[in-house]
Structure 1
Amino acid sequence: MNPIRVLVVDDSIVVRKIVTDVLSQDPGIEVVGTAVNGKLAVGKVEQLKPDLVTMDIEMPEMNGIEAVKAIRALRSRVPIIMFSTLTERGASATLDALSAGANDYVTKPANVGSVAQSMESVREQLIPKIKALTGRLVSAGPVRASASLAPVRPAAPRTTPVEKPAILVIGSSTGGPEALAKVLPALPASLPVPVLLVQHMPPVFTRQFAQRLDRLSALRVVEAVDGTQLSPGTVHLAPGDHHLTIRTSARGNATMLTQGPPENFCRPAVDPLFRSAVDAHKGAVLAVVLTGMGSDGKLGAARIREAGGTVVVQDQATSVVWGMPGAIASAGLADEILPLDRIAETIVRRLTGPSISTAPSRFSALATGGVR
């Protein structure tokens, strides 16, 4: 198999060297060029036809967001991974880049002066995402690309009646911000159950992402805080570096945040949320798993379905990476495997019945700019 051809774009010579050196150490990756700003990057995408681009955000002459828009204007579907700082400004710019059509992001090393630590950080974050977004098998590490999945298996026949859901739980990762910005705004404010959501994201990013989703949606979307009573019409997004689960008490169900060990190499992770939903509601759970790397959510989905709950996953054709939903589908745990544009109507149908239609979609750039 030919190596993955990568174009590295960054105005910092130090960062360019770190990224180039790390990628060049992997026999499955070849750095075919570098660029110091977005304008040069657009030209090199046309000239070199790389398999993937890593893109800095803040650069002179043409920044990374503008470059992503220009590349997508060429009708290029090349995967683009943004390099972002773990700051409020960096988080906001990264979400803008995702809305413009970038596929994913990694956070820059906090201290580029420590070359060894910086290289290890880049290696752990970037290489699995490069291989997943280009459909290559990841032979080692925390994630596997969709190429490693077994064929889809039909869901096992039900031995007990499906229960009407009392809660909606959603999990997503790579490609999730764009997918969620299409699904949540299409849900009505009258949704009769609480919604809990895990999107693999670091701190700062989750707060800004919740605010963006809230502006788009008829539902109220908040970054989850510990101890909030669950009620219909509110979406609780797991904050970065915290698992989101459900605490049950005589007063009712409430959010619970923990910093337990990462699961599936993630914190927040989907599986703890899914398990706690079963503990709180038995089989009265509707789970939705959208695009994402790895298999987070698979074990929790098995618990939900075993208890009598329902599991819906996004299909391969509309997923940026069909890792998480594909793992569930290949295990025979998916009640429905649907394109992204049918997820919201299915949620409404399963929660309220067919008589209530989905809300009109109010997409911003975050929902409309993505290109697979």
Structure 2
Amino acid sequence: MKVLVVDDSALMRRQLTDILTTAGMRVETARNGTEALELVARFQPDVVTLDVAMPEMDGLSCLKRIMAESPRPVVMISALTDAGAETSMEALRLGAVEVVHKQGVAGVGLRRMAGELVRIVQGAAGARLRRAHGLRERLQRTRASIVGDRELPSPAVPRPGEPAETPPDAAGPGVVLVGVSTGGPSTLEEIIPQLPADVPWPLVVAQHMPPTFTATLARRLDDISALKVVEAAQPTALEPGMVCIARGGADAVLTRRAGRLVVQPVPADPARPWHPSVDRLVESAVQHVEPSRLVGVLLTGMGVDGGASMAGMHARGGRTIAESEASAVVFGMPADLIRRGGADVVLPAEQVAGQLVRWLKPAARG
């Protein structure tokens, strides 16, 4: 595999090169976006790692040129700050596959993230690129089409023998649990803005992300959606019409306080490789909510987080949706759920909201 490392810091270029070459990758380096564009044309890398802040041509400008002129998987390397998070979210909207945050330029900090970096770069090489052109306009048109229960997306395609239109059990409040990783922000932007404000169950989203990034994601989704979207940075009571984004860099569990369902942030479980952990969220949910009143949605992402727990929830009466390979940036997580026989329906991201509405609206009417 060929990787182009783009960073204005000589120390960072050397450290990233050492990590990637140790993993068997062939690496070339560039100091800024201008050099990067020249090397993309000459070196033809399978993946580009791209620093956000650089002289001459910054990371976002370089990313735009790469995606327009020679599209390929790009992994952004970002500082763990609010400003870095805003820029990184914009990079994901422009087509970057993933963001890795810098844990300091000291060798110890960078080498601590070596395994994660190698895993992300290897996974990015097989990622399905998504075009971001005109996304805002598409979202506005989609949202306008469904407000007031007007036209919904096309029907979901059920797996053979599965009654896709059967709603979940309506006895009491229910929750939609969403797990997503690589390619998640743009996928969530395809789904959540399509949901009408009167969707009767809350959604809880475990999106694999570092701290600070999930607050930015929540603000972005809140701006473009009819639903109220918040980050669960503290214990958060669930309400209909709410989307709760689990805080990055930690885990989240469902619990009950004074009879109400609450999303509780908890320290990341070191025994689990991905955070916020989808499996941990789902496992906690089935302890406090009847599985028949849970819907699981497993979207794009590397690895297998969420597959086992959602398959178990499905076996106990919960309903599940797996994103199809046709739309997933990385098919790993939903593919695992499908392999386990735990998916009621398998469908592209643009049809997920329509299926949720068809399941939940009848459930609310009881």
Coarse TM-score class (shorter-chain normalised)? 0.7 to 0.9
Deviations 1:66-103 (A, max 9, x none): 111111111x3310000011111111111111111111
CA distance in 1, matches of 2:13, 2:202: 45
Indicate how the Cα distance of structure 1 residues 296 and 156 shifts in structure 2: closer, same or farther if over 3 A, else same: farther
- Aligned counterpart, 1:30: 26
In structure 1, which of residues 342, 351, 358 is the aligned counterpart of residue 351 of structure 2? 342
Where in structure 1 are there 5+ consecutive unaligned residues?
A: 137-153, 357-372
Indicate how the Cα distance of structure 1 residues 11 and 62 shifts in structure 2: closer, same or farther if over 3 A, else same: same
> What is the number of equivalent residue pairs in this alignment?
328
| Counterparts of residues 88-237 of structure 1 (less than 5 Å) | 88-110=82-104, 112-113=105-106, 115=107, 117-135=108-126, 163-164=168-169, 166-237=174-245
- Aligned counterpart, 1:352: 361
Tell me which amino acid in the other structure corresponds to 1:163. P
Assess if the C-alpha contact under 8 Å between 2:181 and 2:208 holds in 1.
Answer: yes
CA distance in 2, matches of 1:189, 1:132: 36
Tell me which amino acid in the other structure corresponds to 2:168. E
SS at match of 1:244: strand
- Aligned counterpart, 2:327: 318
Higher RCO, Cα 8 Å, sep 6+? 1
Shift of residue 135 of structure 1? 3.2
CA distance in 2, matches of 1:101, 1:188: 27
| Counterparts of residues 7-86 of structure 1 (less than 5 Å) | 7-27=4-24, 29-31=25-27, 33-74=28-69, 76-86=70-80
SS at match of 1:267: coil
Assess if the C-alpha contact under 8 Å between 1:225 and 1:255 holds in 2.
Answer: no
CA distance in 2, matches of 1:170, 1:181: 13
Tell me which amino acid in the other structure corresponds to 2:26. E
Shift of residue 250 of structure 1? 4.4
Q: TM-score scaled to structure 2, two decimals?
A: 0.84
- Aligned counterpart, 1:298: 307
Where in structure 2 are there 5+ consecutive unaligned residues?
A: 128-158
CA RMSD of aligned residues (A): 2.3
Indicate how the Cα distance of structure 1 residues 155 and 242 shifts in structure 2: closer, same or farther if over 3 A, else same: farther
Assess if the C-alpha contact under 8 Å between 2:176 and 2:204 holds in 1.
Answer: yes
Q: TM-score scaled to structure 1, two decimals?
A: 0.83
Shift of residue 59 of structure 1? 0.7
Shift of residue 180 of structure 1? 0.5
Tell me which amino acid in the other structure corresponds to 1:94. S
CA distance in 2, matches of 1:218, 1:68: 30
SS at match of 1:196: strand
Tell me which amino acid in the other structure corresponds to 1:30. R
- Aligned counterpart, 1:330: 339
CA distance in 2, matches of 1:341, 1:328: 19
Shift of residue 225 of structure 1? 4.0
Deviations 1:33-92 (A, max 9, x none): 211111221222122211110000101111001111111111x33100000111111111
In structure 2, which of residues 254, 265, 273 is the aligned counterpart of residue 257 of structure 1? 265
- Aligned counterpart, 1:87: 81
- Aligned counterpart, 1:270: 278
Deviations 1:285-337 (A, max 9, x none): 11101101111111220221122111101111211111111110111111111
CA distance in 1, matches of 2:281, 2:92: 25
CA distance in 1, matches of 2:227, 2:74: 31
Tell me which amino acid in the other structure corresponds to 1:84. S
- Aligned counterpart, 1:368: none
Indicate how the Cα distance of structure 1 residues 185 and 162 shifts in structure 2: closer, same or farther if over 3 A, else same: closer
Assess if the C-alpha contact under 8 Å between 2:103 and 2:109 holds in 1.
Answer: yes
SS at match of 2:236: coil
Tell me which amino acid in the other structure corresponds to 2:78. S
CA distance in 1, matches of 2:113, 2:262: 37
CA distance in 1, matches of 2:123, 2:95: 17
Assess if the C-alpha contact under 8 Å between 1:54 and 1:80 holds in 2.
Answer: yes
SS at match of 1:264: coil
CA distance in 2, matches of 1:122, 1:41: 24
Indicate how the Cα distance of structure 1 residues 263 and 332 shifts in structure 2: closer, same or farther if over 3 A, else same: farther
